[in-house]
Amino acid sequence: MTAPRPVVEMSGITVEFSGVRVLDGVDLTLYPGEVHALMGENGAGKSTLIGALTGTVPILSGEVRIEGEERMPAGVARSRAEGIATVFQETHLSPHLTVAENVMIGNEARGPFGIDWKANRARAAEVLARLGLDDLDPRSPLSALSPAVKQLVAVARALVVEPRVLVLDEPTSSLDAGEVNTLLRVVRGLRDRGVAILFVSHFIEQVFDVADRMTVLRGGRVVGECLAADLDRADLISKMIGEDIDALKALRSERLAHHYSASGEPTLRASALGRRGTLDPTDIELSRGEVVGFAGLNGSGRTELARLMGGAERADSGEIWMDGARVQLRSPGAALRCRVALSTEHLREEGIIRGLTARENIVLALQAMRGWSRPLSRGEQDALIETYFEALHIAPDDIDRPVEELSGGTQQKILLARLLATRPHVLILDEPTRGIDIGAKLDIQRRVARLAGEGVAVVFISSQLEEVVRLSDRIVVLKDREKIGELSNGPGVTVDTIVEMIAADLDGDPEELFGHDCDTGLASPKLFPVT
What is the smallest separation between the CB atom of 113 and another protein, expressed in angstroms?
6
Residue in 422, 399, 421 with CA at minimum distance from that of residue 410: 399
Which H or E element spans position 340? strand 340-343
Q: How far is 403 from 358, CA to CA, in rounded Å?
A: 5
Query: What binding mask, one character per residue, do residues 110-139 give for another protein by CB under 8 A, x or -?
Result: x--xxx------------------------
Interface with another protein includes 277 (CB under 8 A)? no
Span of 97-105, 310-318, 424-432, 466-474 interacting with another protein by CB under 8 A: 97-105
Binding of residue 144 to another protein (CB under 8 A): yes
The count of other CB atoms within 10 Å of the CB of residue 51 is: 21
Q: Does 355 bind another protein (CB under 8 A)?
A: no
**Residue 48 makes contact with another protein by CB under 8 A:** no
SS3 assignment, position 79:
helix
Contact status, residue 165 vs residue 7, Cβ threshold 8 Å: yes
Least Cβ distance, residue 115 to another protein (angstroms): 5
Which DSSP letter does residue 375 get? P
DSSP secondary structure letters along 87-106: E--GGGS-TTSBHHHHHHTT
Helix axes 147-159, 177-192, angle to 10 degrees: 10
Single residue of 65, 71, 76, 354 touching another protein by CB under 8 A: 76
Number of chain positions touching another protein (CB under 8 A): 29
Q: Compute the distance between CA of residue 81 and CA of residue 71 in angstroms, rounded to an integer.
A: 13
Applying CB under 8 A, does 146 fall inside the site for another protein? no
In the bound state with another protein, the residue whose beta carbon lies nearer, of 91 and 253, is 91
Candidates 36, 46, 121, 157; binder of another protein (CB under 8 A) is 157
Phi/psi zone of residue 264: left (φ > 0), alpha (ψ -120 to 50 degrees), beta?
Answer: left
467 touches another protein by CB under 8 A: no
Q: Give least dist CB 388 to another protein, A.
A: 34
Please select the residue that binds another protein; options are 88, 199, 294, 388, rule is CB under 8 A.
88
Terminal-residue alpha carbon distance, the chain: 40
Candidates 61, 140, 328, 488; binder of another protein (CB under 8 A) is: 140
Instruction: Tell me the backbone φ, ψ of residue 228, rounded to 5 degrees.
Output: -60, -35
Q: Which of 82, 108, 244, 443 binds another protein (CB under 8 A)?
A: 108
Judged by CB under 8 A, the residue of 97, 245, 369, 484 near another protein is 97
Region of residue 377 (left: phi > 0; alpha: psi -120 to 50; beta: else):
beta
**Which is nearer to another protein, 75 or 375 (by Cβ)?**
75
Region of 96-104, 296-304, 332-340, 396-404 interacting with another protein (CB under 8 A): 96-104
Residues lying near another protein in the complex (CB under 8 A) are found at 56, 75-80, 86, 88, 91-97, 101, 105-106, 108, 110, 113-115, 140-141, 143-144, 157
